[in-house]
Chains A and B, each alone.
Chain A
Amino acid sequence: NAGVTQTPKFRILKIGQSMTLQCTQDMNHNYMYWYRQDPGMGLKLIYYSVGAGITDKGEVPNGYNVSRSTTEDFPLRLELAAPSQTSVYFCASSYGLAGTNTGELFFGEGSRLTVL
């Protein structure tokens, strides 16, 4: 049972570089989320998606982009990396039909990103 899989687990970027964090889930969940967690803090919502083809901004979307072409995949793109984007990124998914999101999140193991 893979659940939610994130790659890469670790990455070091230089300022101004771009990269994509991959997230895939095999539970056929409609809802997917990207969060960032700074040291000793809770999670901040970056973007979320309620289904294929639909994405929406969360609390801290600036500097990031997402797409949702399939139910399984929800990649997060950083276009011009900045030191402020150094963080641990978590992808999560939840079950629910339209309008009945359980809110119960299943998380990946996280991707630790450092921007130097």
Chain B
Amino acid sequence: TQLLEQSPQFLSIQEGENLTVYCNSSSVFSSLQWYRQEPGEGPVLLVTVVTGGEVKKLKRLTFQFGDARKDSSLHITAAQPGDTGLYLCAGRLNRDDKIIFGKGTRLHILP
């Protein structure tokens, strides 16, 4: 059973389009992170969200944490070829130190 469900698993869109990636769970998380991973490298942290309803922006990327702290979304505006990569959500379960990952969303932006 996957504790963190990410969707879609694959996404291929044209440059300039907008997209949203979702990360859902039935469990409550004390914090949730989004990472980006390039081939042959370890994941690199993009953002952490902690408070229910929190919204954070990183240039063209907008991250939101659900009110109940069970889900999150990543929205990219005007996608660029440089956004291509594997996007992973990860969460620290409430009152636990395990950090678990979703399966990831492989994003490909076509020029």
Contact = CB atoms under 8 A, between A and B. Distances in A.
Interface of A: 4, 31, 33, 35, 40-45, 48, 50, 56, 58-59, 90, 92, 94, 101-110
Given A103-B31, A103-B91, A45 B100 contact: yes
Given A104-B45, A110-B42, A41 B103 contact: yes
Contacts of B92: 101, 103
Interface of B: 6, 30-33, 35, 40-45, 48, 88, 90-92, 97-104, 106
Given A109-B42, A110-B42, A45 B98 contact: yes
B99 A42 contact: no
B43 A43 contact: yes
A42 B88 contact: yes
Given A40-B106, A90-B42, A110-B41, A105 B90 contact: yes
Given A42-B6, A103-B92, A105-B90, A59 B100 contact: yes
Contacts of A33: 99
Contacts of B40: 110
A50 B98 CA distance: 9
A49 B40 CA distance: 25
Given A92-B42, A108-B42, A110-B41, A103 B99 contact: yes
Most chain A CB atoms below 10 A, which of B33, B44, B48, B99: B99
Contact of A31 (B32, B35, B44, B97): B97
Contacts of B42: 4, 90, 92, 107-110
A66 B108 CA distance: 37
Given A42-B102, A42-B104, A48-B97, A105 B41 contact: no
Contacts of B48: 102-104
Nearest to B3: A59
Nearest to B45: A104
Given A43-B43, A108-B42, A110-B41, A102 B97 contact: no
B101 A48 contact: no
